[in-house]
Structure 1
Amino acid sequence: MDVGGHSTENTQTVAPPTSGGMAVPWSALRAPEPGNWFVPRGRLDELLDAAAVRHEVIEVVAPGGFGKTTALAHWAAHRSAPTAWVSVNSHTRNPQRLASGISRSLADAVRGRPGFEQLAGSVGDVGTAAGAVTRWIEALERAPERVVLIVDDVHHAPGILDHGPLALLLDAAPRNLCVVVTSHTPDPSLVRRRVAGMIGLVTSDELRMTRDEVLSVSRALDRELDADVIESIHTGTGGWPVAVGLELLAPGVVLPMAGEPMRDYIQHEILAKLPADLVTLVLSTSLLERFDTEAARQVSGLPETQALLGELLDRGLFLTRVSDRTGRVSYRWHARVARECRELFRASRPSDFVQGARAAVQVLWHDDPVAALDVACCADQVDLVRALLGDHWLSLLVEGDLAVLRDSIAALDPDQRGETVVLVLEAALAQLGGDHELAAMLVDSARAAAVPGVARDRLALAQMSLMGANEGNELERACDEVRDLLRTDVVPGRPEHAVTVFLLGWAELRLRRAPLRALDLLRTSARLASEAHASVLERRARANAGFAAAFLGDFEAAEEELRTLGGRKVAGADIWEVYDGGLTDFTEGWIGFWRGDLTIAEQKFGAVIADHGRVAYAPLARVLQVWVACSIGDPRRIRRADQARRDIPDADAHGVPWAHYALVARAKILVAQGAGASQVVPLLRQAADRANVPVIALESAVMLHRMGQLGDTVDALRRLSPLERQPLYVQTGALVVNALVQRRRGETESAHRLLERALDLGAPARLGRAFDLTQPGLRPLLAAHAARGTAHPEYVAHCLAGNTSVDASSPVGGLSSREREILEYMRGTLTNAEIAAALHVSVNTVKTHQRSIYRKFNVATRREAVRLADAT
């Protein structure tokens, strides 16, 4: 069935999942359909084809009504090469969300095309804007042909080409990408490229219709006009496409000339000539940025909106229709028309305007709070602004919609800004902006304004404490309170649920008191965010879950979480970077450190420091960089690390005991520089009171053992009791140190039992840090353990071979690196076939190296070779 020349929508299609206001609407990632008077304009297609080959950027610049969007939509639909589409709207002003939308559009454009698998896989959690761009560029480098990305209406988001993902993408200029942008006026961000002739420029001169095109439009509308009439229309309209269309659809319409009020034209030349129900539909839907027939019905109160929208399209008004393969249909008004219609609605029907605005806010409340706040502010419905902020402030804050939040606060009267939730929101904005004194003052005001017994006030204050508390005890109290409120006052499925679960897990991770609980909370929040299509929140949760898993020692689970993030996190336009900047790099460095891969650890910690200076995870990276440098033992690295150590904070922040970390870092430097126990032990005793940071106790035990302080070593190990509750790498390291203590005390059997337990834990996870052969006594203990027999002969041999340091003048020094590696494997009970399998070589290769070892050592058996190696 056709309604007004347009196919009926598929009303049986299940509505898509709601976005919670945290995703770019699907309709913004689809090119609109042409109107019923559209005709193909081959010359424009050819012009755009040629520009896309020659230029990395095409700018289409013309005032409204010149058919920029229509021309590009037709061109995109008929290209054989992949073409992605993004329409700028309220969501795409958020750099994180814009990056997510571009990823989705690019992936959809290339899906199913051979050679584009990497780009198709870029959809999902994109991380920061810069991180997303990095992955797009990597994928485009491997693309088999050029991709076009059309970004429509950039004038709706000033600065969108100046910062964020589009700016980064334009600066990178990948060779397999052409970016097309449309705007009303030339964008100042492109002036350098424009002057240098680097941009393909399409202006109103090219978009104006020719006489032949005017004739084609008249025939498409079944109007047979003679040449003189066509000439008159072309001359009278100047080829302005919208004027041509309206002249042919509604002869006699007087279009506004340049400088004349658009509002008068809409009122007298369009609305005045429409039936009353169409006028109501136009005015009421102008409150919505995008809408479907059900939303139109709710805001207008009209029952048959589908047929009425079809009639509006037939009349050639400033309305576009977008659909997708699933049958979903969405509409949107030209932005200027919508803006003028809103004001006409307000002026001509004030009570209906307020009623329509309130209905629009209710339509948008759960699915699109960004747009809901825009409507509430536009209509001066401050009660709705306050209520929306009460429901959504934390979600919008974590998602990075700061401009939306600031505009909403500005819409409130001074008295209304004194409410608890609004004060908490302003405190959170100040906190994220680095103004901690103002944040503290606003929190005090919020507490004073809180109404006893009002759960929302209590929840907002507790949520703010999770973000702002520095003292561990204060943060613990806040976590306990929020946990209670989640059980009693936060309804699952409501906007604040997923983000509150995230914030609680995020804070618990900093406390380190219950890392498994933190991991569970973060995974739950990631799942809830995914279900709500809150992509930025989901990524934050997954990144923190990755570190929580790594902190627990479940490195495989941590790496799986990192894989879902699609690449390392890079500094970008993301407000949460002040808290979590460098988190994924740090997690990778953490895993590398405990596995004994000091190269990857040094690289990752260095990247965190370079990208984030003294904030977020950079201070902790400085601590670990000290540990790495001291483990490598290079004096230059140690000197650089000592300089970096001075930038470690000396006071707790967000529950992190920086002073204790700084003490351990200082002790590490002193031990590496050869200082005695009298200098080091007092520092480690000072750091000993933070039982919820087990790595401090473990590293203290390692250093104390190196200096021969067995009593203090045992005391440090006791602080890790019960050991089975500690992270896997801490358990393994503590067992190894304890084994070395027992060996020094002559308790050989106990030492080997402890070492085997350490291998049981550490070998499957490849925890090479625990088996660092620079620890006094560990090499001979491991070698003896291999000879006694172990359930992990390959791993013991791997540890011995990977940590070999020998005197070049000794017999072992005359062996090649592969021969030394095989010699270490020969210590245990492995057969030649098993050694070959472990090293991924043939049995003949192993035998050849063995014969070479025997010859160089002048021995005849495996046992003799091992005995001679140990003697030297």
Structure 2
Amino acid sequence: MPPVPEWLIPRPHLVSRLARGVRGPLTVVVGPPGAGKTALVTEWAHTAALPGPVAWVPCDGGQEPPGVFWPRVVAKLREAGVALPYAGVHTAAPISGAADGPLAARVAADLARRTEPVVIVLDDFDLEPGSAAAEGVTLLLRHAFPMVRLLVVARRDPPLHLHRRRLAGELTELRTADLAFTDKETVALLAQHEVTLTGSAVRHLTRRTEGWAAGLRLAAMSLGGHRDPATFVRRFAGDEEAVVSYLAEEVLDVQPAPMRHLLLVTSLLDRVNAELAAAVTEEDADGRFAALVRQNSFLQPLGEGWYRYHRMFRDVLLLRLRYEAPERIARLHRRAADWLGAHGPLTEALEHAVAAGDPSYAARLAVERLAVGRIIGLAGDPLPDSLLQRLSQCMATASDSAQDGDVALATAALSLARRDGAACDDALRKADALVRTAVPADGAQPVPLTARLTYDAIRMAADPFGDPTSALAAAAEVDGLCARLPRETSERHPELRAFAHYVRGGAELRCGRLKRAEEALLATLGTIGPQDAGPSLLRRDCLVDLALLATLRGRTRSAAEFAARARHLDMPAPDPADRSCAALHVVRVWSHLVRGETAAARRQLDDMAPALCVPIPDPPVVALHRLAGETVVLCERGAPPSAEAVRDLCAAVAGPWPTEGLERAVHLACAAAPCGFSGAPAGGRGATKCEVLSGRERDVLKHLARTMTTEEIAAEMYLSVNTVKTHLKSVYRKLEVTRRSAAVRRARELELL
């Protein structure tokens, strides 16, 4: 048994897991070189309560000659004090392979007859499946438990039918993730080298090495006496000389040439499976990839057949690949982009297309996969900002003379995403002749449906409400194109049809057709899906337009609810110069007004100045802003305006919008103002008599809205039926109605319900 090393970092939580594991037949500790496997098992053997003697058997990795393994096991058992009854086996010398099987059977039979269990530790047990030694150990487990407990230390899964034992509950496993050092253990390791770091530096170092013990110790050795430890930690990576040397000697350079090639080539990939590995290497790599997964603990499973390399190991592989074959890297990225473009996530495919330095292919991929919604923010899963930046740089390398409509479309979308209107317009002009051609020239290919759809989506997003007539025509065209998409494609991109609904709703709103606008905007939300499907600019702008629509109707409470939903989306607040920012401001102004908060409304109006400074001000926002300013003056004046005065005021700013809702909002604001009035405006309908409803009358009104009978209301409120009837008569009189349904409808108009 090895002695406890002086540098050992105590890991009692893992030792206790080993102690529990050796109560069963099989415990495996699997991890990459330098993960601390042997050190952990040594700590367990010297510090834990053992179920019996421990025979520590050092193995020769995958190079276990026939006839050597079992004599070594017998020798180590005898050294541990486990006497075997038979004689005549000369364990100092190899025996023939033919005698290997009978010897394993004899060892199993004799150990099974013991009265005290023995733990056999097989250190560096990395045999190939089907080897004679592996079959003998399987036989030992099958026939000698519970007197034999096996603890296997290996770099890869030992060929001992782990799946079967896992299902039977007869297996304890400690793997790479379990062996990873915690921040607390990293601090202890650094202290051994008299290195002290801040908490954030320790966390960064642990994350960078993924808790890999050897990487942490190499870092600690390099940090000793370093003048600027914090800077070293930030820069510490897999290209440090000590890390490269260790991993090259322990892992990379001991691989056969085909396996080494596979490791280097697939290191370009953030994650890899057998099919992608075959596509990148252009070989039938299935069998070799399976062996790579089985033999390499630095390849960590992600599920569903996908794996990723340990970060520092991948850095070493990439460093070697760039040194040995720099001319192949672009071609390898292009192969990865091809496979991922057809079978994988768009984000990964674009990353590799950009890394390959191929703007035409990257643009075609973005257009064919209808990435426009993810580029300009319509979808709930936008492309990462870092990728958008690299895509923009890649598009800038395209030749100006190339007649590439896809590059022009991608450039337009990326320009729109970064709010560069001039560049977007320029790119759209280049794309127009290449994409919008109704009839291709002789011999030319027809324009793909995805290219036309991308063009129309960008054109709509560039100026959705500048010309309502053009916007309605563009929305109809996008609707028609979406209907021609294959069903699977259409279902993957609901944001395009939703955007068409949104543009239609916005155009109808600005034309004053509020009912049609409401239908289209609600259809937008229905097409996008539930709010937990992911926030997007499209969802936010749709909610903002619904808030504007409710304000134009005088339904300020509903407007405030839509505005709150828009603000509470998990996404950055709109830019002060954004159209939606001005809309949210004006909705908040009217919320203050109808609550009698005139001073707050005036402050909000003053704060709106930057939000109104947009190149093309939004007409409903401008109208509501102007009307709010006039209403603040009325509220501060304190004199009740006449119905005719309110009607004239609203007509002056209403433009195409109906004035009934605006008039109602002005009356409510004046009635709620601190210096307001409680009677009806002269010559007009009693729109503000609701202010004099008593508390009892309001309660009766609420029960009335629940379609309760007079008797049920009386029982609910502990009143007599006659008293309830008296309250109802008063409510009818004050609201100027004669029926229950009319009272409820009127109360909702006045936002009493």
The partner residue of 2:367 within 379, 384, 390 is: 390
417-426 vs 285-294, greater mean Cα deviation: 417-426
- Asked if the contact 1:626–1:638 (Cα under 8 Å) also holds between the matched residues in 2, the reply is yes
Structure 2 matches for 1:97-112, cutoff 5 A? none
SS in structure 2 of the partner of residue 617 of structure 1: helix
Quick check: 2:322–2:329 contact (8 Å CA) kept in 1? Answer: yes
Does structure 2 retain, via aligned residues, the 8 Å contact 1:645–1:665? no
Matches within 5 A, 1:634-653: 634-644=597-607, 649=612
Q: How far, CA to CA, are the matches of 2:451 and 2:334 in structure 1? A: 24
8 A Cα contact 1:209 1:239, kept in partner: no
**C-alpha distance in 1, partners of 2:627/2:709?**
44
Cα displacement (A) at 1:497: 3.9
Listed as ranges, the matches of 1:365-764 within 5 Å are 365-366=341-342, 367-392=344-369, 393-397=371-375, 398=377, 399-412=382-395, 414-416=397-399, 419-447=404-432, 452=437, 453=440, 454-455=447-448, 457-469=451-463, 470-471=465-466, 472-488=468-484, 492-493=488-489, 497-512=493-508, 513-520=516-523, 522-526=525-529, 535-536=533-534, 539-540=535-536, 544=539, 594=555, 612=574, 613=576, 615=578, 617-644=580-607, 649=612, 657-672=620-635, 673=637, 674=640, 684-690=650-656, 696-700=658-662, 702=664
In 2, Cα distance between the equivalents of 1:651 and 1:357? 43
For the residues of structure 1 that align with 2:278 and 2:435, how far apart are their CA atoms? Answer: 39
Task: State the 1:43 CA deviation.
Answer: 0.9
Alpha-carbon distance between aligned partners in 2 of 1:781 and 1:205, rounded to the nearest angstrom: 74
Aligned residue type for 1:523: G
**Number of residues paired by the alignment?**
512
Check conservation: 1:462, 1:482, Cα contact below 8 A: yes
Structure 2 Cα separation of the partners of residues 68 and 583 of structure 1: 57
Distance 1:780 1:435 in 2: 51
**What whole-Å deviation, never above 9, does each CA across 1:325-378 have from its counterpart, x for those lacking one?**
xxx332112334435545655775688766654432233115312211222233
For the structure 1 residues 310 and 620, does the alpha-carbon distance in structure 2 shift closer, same or farther, using more than 3 Å as the test?
same
Distance 1:666 1:378, change over 3 A: same
Structure 2 CA distance, aligned partners of 1:71 and 1:486? 62
Summarize the Cα distance change of 1:194–1:661 in structure 2 as closer, same or farther, 3 Å threshold: same
The one-character-per-residue Cα deviations of 1:286-325 (angstroms, maximum 9, x if unpaired) are 23211233333443345462x53453355446322344xx
Whether 1:299 aligns to 2:280 is: yes
Please report how far the alpha carbon of residue 505 of structure 1 lies from its aligned counterpart in structure 2 after TM superposition: 2.9
Q: Which amino acid aligns with 2:391?
A: S
Supply the AA of the counterpart residue of 1:43.
R
**2:586·2:621 contact (CA, 8 Å) conserved in 1?**
no
Task: Tell me which residue corresponds to 1:320.
Answer: 300
Conservation of the 8 A alpha-carbon contact between 1:706 and 1:775: no
Structure 1 residue 482, shift from structure 2 partner: 2.0
Distance change in 2, residues 1:338/1:492 (3 Å)? same
SS state at 2:241 partner: coil
Q: 1:336 to 1:488 in 2, by over 3 A?
A: same
* 2:259 matches 1:278: yes
Give distance in 2, aligned partners of 1:587 and 1:198: 51
2:55 is matched with: none
Task: Give the % identical residues.
Answer: 17
The equivalent of 2:336 in structure 1 is 360
Do structure 1's residue 846 and structure 2's residue 724 form an aligned pair? no
Q: Distance in 1 between matches of 2:732 and 2:478?
A: 61
Give, in whole Å, the separation in 2 of the partners of 1:151 and 1:436.
49
Q: Equivalent residue of 1:332, what SS?
A: strand
* AA at the equivalent of 2:555: W
Letter in 2 for 1:374: E
SS of 1:289 mapped into structure 2: coil
C-alpha distance after superposition, 1:782-836 (max 9, x if no partner): 9xxxxxxxxxxxxxxxx99xx4527xxxxxx8xxx4488569989x998663114
Question: Cα distance, 1:863 vs. partner?
Answer: 5.6
Q: What is the one-letter code of the residue matched to 2:692?
A: S
**For residue 282 of structure 1, what is the amino acid of its counterpart?**
L
Is contact 1:664-1:684 (8 Å) kept?
yes
Cα distance in 2, alignment partners of residues 644 and 507 from structure 1 = 28
Tell me if structure 2 keeps the 8 A contact 1:660–1:686: no
Match of 1:338 in 2: 314
The Cα shift of 1:467 comes to 1.3
| Aligned counterparts of 1:478 and 1:615: Cα–Cα separation in 2 | 22
Q: Deviations over 1:537-584 (max 9, x none)?
A: xx439x83xxxxxxxxxxxxxxxxxxxxxxxxxxxxxxxx7x57x859
| Partner AA of 2:651 in structure 1 | R
> In structure 2, how many angstroms separate the alpha carbons of the residues matched to 1:48 and 1:588?
65
TM-score normalised by length of structure 1: 0.46
Q: So what's the TM-score if we normalise by structure 2?
A: 0.52
User: Of the two structures, which has the highest relative contact order with CA contacts closer than 8 Å and spacing of 6 or more?
Assistant: 1
Gaps of 5+ in 2: 1-7, 18-31, 41-175, 191-196, 222-236, 441-446, 509-515, 670-676, 735-753
Contact 2:641 2:681 in 1 (8 A): no
Shift of 1:585: 11
Larger CA deviation: 458-467 vs 582-591? 582-591
- Separation in 2 of the partners of 1:208 and 1:414? 40
Secondary structure at the counterpart of residue 590 of structure 2? helix
User: 3-state DSSP class of the match of 1:493?
Assistant: helix
The CA RMSD over aligned residues, in Å, is 6.3
1-structure distance, mates of 2:629, 2:562: 19
Cα 1:820–1:331 change in 2 (3 A) is closer
Native 8 Å contact 1:313 1:319 kept in 2: yes
3-state DSSP of counterpart to 2:11: helix
Indicate whether 1:833 and 2:711 are aligned. Answer: yes
- Partner letter of residue 835 of structure 1? I
CA contact (8 A) 1:358 1:376 kept: yes
Q: Note the 1:69-88 alignment, pairs <5 A.
A: none
SS in 2 for 1:331: strand
Alpha-carbon distance between aligned partners in 2 of 1:428 and 1:409, rounded to the nearest angstrom: 10
Asked whether the equivalents of residues 208 and 239 of structure 1 are also in contact (C-alpha less than 8 Å), the reply is no
- Alpha-carbon distance between aligned partners in 2 of 1:658 and 1:264, rounded to the nearest angstrom: 66
Matching residue's letter, 2:272: F
- For 1:44-63, list aligned pairs within 5 A: 45=13
SS of residue paired to 1:846? coil
Instruction: Tell me the CA shift for residue 598 of structure 1.
Output: 9.6
Change (3 A) 1:591 1:338: farther
Judge conservation of contact 2:301–2:307 (CA < 8 Å) in 1: yes
8 Å contact 1:318–1:337 — kept in the other structure?
yes
Cα 1:335–1:830, aligned 2, differ >3 Å: closer, same or farther? closer
Paired AA for residue 291 in structure 2: E
Q: Distance in 1 between matches of 2:500 and 2:556?
A: 29
Tell me which amino acid in the other structure corresponds to 1:384: Y
